[in-house]
Structure 1
Amino acid sequence: MTRNVLIAGAGPGVSGSLARLYAAEGGSVGLLGADEDVLTQLRSDLEAAGAVAGSAVVDLTDDAATRHAVTRMGEQRGHLDVVHFNPSAYREKDPLSLTPDELLEDVRLGVGALLSVVQAARPFMGPGGRITVTGSMAADSPWFGAASLGVQKAGVQNLVHSIDAALAGDGIRAVSVTVRGLLKKDGPFAPDNVARALRAAIEQDEADWRAEIPYTG
């Protein structure tokens, strides 16, 4: 099935692997991210593989800019079948050195930006639409040395449950895939394998839908 896919927080890791996976299926992929060089390279890779791809540099913590970029991607494609949310902020500070402002800044990216993306994408999504999020074991097993990451992952996991409940009546479902392991270049937690788990999550039977799925490799 050919899909129009939007990936927010696109980069060279899991999100890049997911973009290539959907492109290999013939999907049209829109990329939103902060690093122009990374986006250019990823878009070039997708186009070289014969896929239709678009990209836009955007600061996802900027609500107005994010909504504009998502709307533009939706208008270009006519509709969106899959929206994937990937970003998080990694700040190596423990709870005794992390400031409230730093925590809020990180949560603005790792959690709050999901609202900007989903609300802007909603007019372009219909029954069968899917929203996926890259989750992490940091949600319930945080490392104190990067305290804000655990807060972000717990928050976004919780928010996905609310988004799924709010949209289920319209036939649109949301799911976070909790990666229970450290990302590595090779092995079960290589980006390509995590991307496959995210891709598989949208094929759930709606009657037994789960808004959070653990990936244990």
Structure 2
Amino acid sequence: MTDRQLRDEAMTLFLAGHETTANLLAWTWYLLARHPDVERALLDSLAPLGGRAATMDDVPRLGYARQVLGEALRLYPPAYAVGRIALEDVTFGGYRVPAGAGVLLSQWVTHRDPRWWPDPDRFDPSRWAPDAPAARPKLAYFPFGAGTRVCIGEQFAWTEALLVLATLAPRWRLALAPGTDVTPQPIITLRPRGGIPMTLHPR
């Protein structure tokens, strides 16, 4: 790589990964505030940390936290759609796509398809349990894209979000402000329109 290419790769990791991870964590706390049973299960799973900050060594043991984030990514993927350009004529599913045509793939739509996700609007981290049925097609879930252009920051994002969630959740409870009406805003990323008004309560 040239110095410029290296700089561009680093900028992609740090800048592109900042807003998307922030959005993921915002949606995660919104969902936890609305599902106290899941929040309690998360706290129970984090009890072995003893209230200390999570570290890289803890990441393999943060299984339930990963399930919570995985389900938040399913319902509110920060990258809610990806586009691709066909390099050559191709036919799939009975549709012909000519070379040069744009194709849009929507995580938001696919992640809520009832063929793969029973009761698709329900927040259910058990969908990601190690013993959960693996009957879903691989691309029924692609929050980071797929193929050769999958997000370069995927592992960085998982690690960052896991460490933040595992460190803050045992210390703070986030409650939705009364009368809060949260609406997704699909612009460059899937943001909560106007933010998510919440109050912080030390545990």
Band the TM-score falls in, shorter-chain normalisation: under 0.3
Kindly name which structure, 1 or 2, has the bigger radius of gyration based on alpha carbons. Answer: 2
Greater relative contact order structure (CA < 8 Å, 6+ sep)? 2
Question: Normalising by the residue count of structure 1, what TM-score does the alignment of the two structures yield?
Answer: 0.26
Question: Normalising by the residue count of structure 2, what TM-score does the alignment of the two structures yield?
Answer: 0.27
